[in-house]
Structure 1
Amino acid sequence: MILGCSQNGCSEDAVRLFTRMYKENVRPDSFTLVSVIQALADISDPLQARCIHGYSIKLHLDHDGYVLTALIYMYAKCSCATIARTLFSSARERHVFTWNPMIHGYSSHGFGKVVVELFEEMKSIGIAPNETTFLSVLSACSHAGLVDEGWKYFTSVKEDYGLEPGKLDEE
C-alpha cells in the first residue's frame, strides 16, 4: 500500500500509512523503507527526511544498498546536498543506481561543474552511465552553460555507450 501510494502521487497518504504502521509496532523491511523514503523525497521536508534516516539507522538498514540509494535521492531532493554527498561517500559499493541520484541532485540544483566532475569520476572507475545518467548530465551542462562539455557527452552517448540519444527521453 505504501509503495502504491508513493508511486501514484499520494505521498502524504504513504507517509500516513507508514506512521500508522510505526504506531502499531510493525517493523518495516528495507522495501517498505525505500517506499516511504521515496514519498518523503516527493514531499521534500528535511525534518521528516532526518527522522526516517534516523529510523533506518535504528533498524540497522541504513547500509542496505537500496535504502542508502533512496536516502541519497531523498536528501538531494530536499536540497540537503551535503548530507546526500556524505551518504554517497559512505556507500560500500557504488553502482550506476547509486551515482544517478547524486548526479541528478546536483543537476537539479544547478551545480553543473560538480555534475561533470562526478560523471568523470564515475567513468574513471569503470561505472558505465545509463540513460538516466546522461539526462542529468546533459541537463546540468545545458543549465550551467557548459556547451562544449554537453556536446562531448551528447556525442559519446551513441559512440561510446551505444545508446540512442533520441530515445533518452522515452526511458
Structure 2
Amino acid sequence: MTIRVQTVDFDLNAELAQLRQGNPGIGAVVSFVGLVRDINDGQNISAMELEHYPGMTEKALEQIVVQAQARWDLINTLVIHRVGPLQPLDQIVLVAVATRHRGDAFAACEFIMDYLKTQAPFWKKEQTPEGSRWVDARETDDLALQKWNMPAQGGDPA
C-alpha cells in the first residue's frame, strides 16, 4: 500500500509500472485519475485549491485502503492525492489497485474512490467569475457510498 498527499503532479505510467513491478501474480490493474474540470454546478472554474490536514488525511486514506483490503484480495494499492493550487486539466487524484482478477480490481478501485470523496479530510475552494467559494460534498457522492453498505443479496432474510 502506498499513500501520498503531495503538491507536485504525478506520472501515471511511472506510477502504474511501480505498482505492478516484479509481481507475476498480478492479473489486473485498474486505475482512476480525477482531473480538475473548468465547470462545476453550472459555473466556470478558473482555478481550484485543495487543502488538507497533514497526518490526519494520510491516516484516513490508509483506513479506506484497509477497508478495501478486508473486502477484496488486493496485491497492491496506490492512492495519490494532490493539494494546493490546481488549474483545469490538472490531475488531482490517482487510485490504482492491483489484484489477481479484474472483478476485484474494478470493485476495489471504485470503493476506494467513493470513500475518498466522502470520508477523506480534504477541503476544496473554487475560483469562479463571481469570486471564490468552498465546495460542499455532493449528494451523488453520498449516494455512491451507500451502495457499499448494502446487505448481501440472497440467503435467509430472517
Greater strand share, structure number: 2
Greater helix share, structure number: 1
Structure scoring higher RCO (CA < 8 A, sep ≥ 6) equals 2
TM-score norm. by structure 1 comes to: 0.26
